[in-house]
Chain A
Amino acid sequence: DAGVIQSPRHEVTEMGQEVTLRCKPISGHNSLFWYRQTMMRGLELLIYFNNNVPIDDSGMPEDRFSAKMPNASFSTLKIQPSEPRDSAVYFCASSHLRRDKDTQYFGPGTRLTVL
Chain B
Amino acid sequence: GEDVEQSLFLSVREGDSSVINCTYTDSSSTYLYWYKQEPGAGLQLLTYIFSNMDMKQDQRLTVLLNKKDKHLSLRIADTQTGDSAIYFCAESSGYGGSQGNLIFGKGTKLSVKP
Contacts and interface: CB of A to CB of B under 8 A. Distances in A.
Interface of A: 4, 31, 33, 42-43, 45, 48, 50, 55-56, 91, 93, 95, 97-98, 101-109
Contacts of A109: 41-42
Given A42-B106, A101-B31, A107-B42, A48 B95 contact: no
Interface stretch (B59-67, B75-83, B96-104): B96-104
B48 A106 contact: no
A51 B101 CA distance: 14
A99 to B, nearest CB: 9
B99 A106 contact: no
B33 to A, nearest CB: 7
B92 interface: yes
Contacts of A104: 43, 45, 100, 102
B92 A102 contact: yes
B99 A43 contact: no
Interface of B: 30-31, 33, 35, 41-45, 48, 50, 88, 92, 94-95, 99-102, 104, 106-107
Given A42-B106, A93-B43, A104-B100, 11 more contacts: A31-B100, A43-B43, A43-B106, A43-B107, A48-B100, A91-B43, A97-B99, A101-B50, A101-B92, A101-B94, A104-B102
Contacts of B99: 31, 50, 55, 97
29 contacts: A4-B42, A42-B104, A42-B107, A43-B43, A43-B88, A43-B107, A45-B101, A55-B101, A56-B101, A91-B43, A93-B42, A97-B99, A98-B95, A101-B50, A101-B94, A102-B92, A102-B94, A102-B100, A102-B102, A103-B45, A103-B48, A104-B43, A104-B102, A105-B45, A106-B35, A106-B44, A107-B42, A108-B41, A109-B42
